[in-house]
Each structure stands twice: as C-alpha cells, then as structure tokens.
C-alpha cells in the first residue's frame, strides 16, 4: 500500500500542477518596440480585440514595422506610426480589418489603438499611442461612420517615458503631411516578448 501511495501522490501533484498551469496560462501577448528614443513594451488585449491583435501580431512577426517611423506626433493627442519608412515612403499593408472599437476599451493615456481613414473599417497597419485621455475617440454607435470610434487593442506597460519624450519633439510639414517630427523617430524593430 505504501508503495502505491508513493507512486500515486507524486502523480496526483504533477497532474494537478499541469491542470493549474494550463488554466492559469492566460498571459496576454506583449510586443517590444525598439525605437531610436528607447524601448516601449505594449501588452495586447486578445480578449477584447482578438482580430485586431491577430492583425497587429502578423505585422510584427513579418517584420513589417522594422525600420518604419513615428510619422505623426501631436503632443497632447497621440504618436502615430507603422506606415512609412525613414525616407517617408508609404509601405503597402495587408487588407483592412473590421473595426473592434465597440469592445469596451477606452482611448486613455498609454493605450494603443488602430489608425484609420474616415471609413470605420479601414485600419490596416498604422497604429497610435494615446499621449493623453482621448475618450472622444471611443466607440459611440455603429449607426454612422463618425461614431464608430478607434479600436483600442493594447496598452503601454513599460516605456511611457519614451512615449512622453517622443510626444514633445518639434514637428513640421513634410511631404504633404503635418505634425512630422523634424528628426526621424525610428521603430528599429518590433518583436514579440517571449
């Protein structure tokens, strides 16, 4: 009997450990943005914005963001990137995705959201980090394009000081675009944190 107990108890604990680990392993994915001004780590919300997160991770894994710039910086609004090279050439993104702005997440300071045109379902690769609370960008209604809002799908968990350093950079007009930093803010590499 003692022999059976000695075999059974370790087996029971290893089984329980496996079950707890499997059920408790719901960590959200994180992405490290290595920029010319320092590193930013963002946590992506797969529960609230699964399709948007999958889209973003696809761009990260393919290396699409590497060598792009934060091409639009407005101090008391947001910093936007993910679409232009250092030479200010627009990259060709994948197809647009469905807007998930109605997920209950808000465009608060430090949140990560998808940039888009006036069409609510036009987001592709470009994203922005809110530098202040911008709840006017939140979903209001799906009845008209103007009230769809901008889909929040993550938040900065490290490196908000880097975001704050970028947000105050001097900007000017460049290649027909406004609010472009005078010096390139390069997204050197985007990678999934293991």
What's the rounded Cα separation, in Å, for the pair 165 and 173? 20
If one compares 5 and 191, the residue with the highest pLDDT of the two is 191
Q: What's the predicted TM-score (pTM) here?
A: 0.86
Burial of 18 (0-12, 13-18, 19+ CB in 10 A): exposed
- Which residue from 102, 104, 105, 124 is spatially nearest to 115, judged by alpha carbons? 124
- Residue 5 has a pLDDT of 42
Q: What is the pLDDT of residue 53?
A: 98
* Mean pLDDT, the chain, integer: 90
Q: 152 — alpha (psi -120 to 50), left (phi > 0) or beta?
A: beta
What domains are there in the chain, each with its CATH number? 28-192 (2.40.100.10)
Q: CA of 189: how far to CAs of 86, 155, 161, 177, in Å? A: 13, 18, 18, 24
Q: Residue 16's pLDDT is what?
A: 39
What pLDDT sits at residue 26? 54
- Structure confidence at residue 191 (pLDDT): 98
Per-residue pLDDT of 107-136, as tens digits, reads 999 999 999 999 999 999 999 999 999 999
CA 190 to chain centre: 10
Residue whose structure tokens are 């003692």: 2
Averaged over 49-69, what is the pLDDT?
98
The confidence score (pLDDT) of residue 22 equals: 37
| C-alpha to C-alpha distance for 39 and 42, rounded to whole angstroms | 10
- The pLDDT tens digits for 2-51 are 544 444 444 444 443 444 333 333 589 999 999 999 999 999 999 999 99
């Amino acid at each position: 009997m003692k022999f059976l107990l000695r075999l059974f108890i370790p087996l029971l604990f290893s089984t329980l450990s496996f079950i707890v680990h499997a059920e408790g392993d719901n960590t959200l994915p994180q992405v490290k943005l290595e920029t010319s001004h320092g590193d930013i780590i963002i946590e992506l919300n797969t529960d609230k914005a699964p399709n948007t997160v999958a889209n973003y991770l696809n761009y990260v894994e393919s290396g699409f963001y590497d060598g792009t710039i934060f091409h639009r910086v407005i101090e008391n609004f947001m910093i936007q990137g993910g679409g232009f090279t250092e030479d200010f050439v627009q990259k060709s993104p994948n197809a647009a995705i469905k807007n998930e702005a109605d997920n209950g997440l808000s465009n608060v300071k430090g949140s990560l959201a998808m940039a888009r045109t006036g069409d609510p379902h036009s987001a592709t690769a470009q994203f922005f980090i809110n530098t202040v609370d911008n709840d006017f960008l939140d979903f209001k209604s799906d009845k008209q394009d103007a009230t769809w809002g901008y889909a929040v799908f993550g938040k900065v968990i490290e490196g908000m000081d880097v975001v704050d350093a970028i947000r105050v950079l001097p900007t000017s007009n460049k290649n027909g675009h406004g609010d472009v930093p005078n010096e390139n803010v390069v997204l050197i590499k985007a990678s999934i944190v293991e």
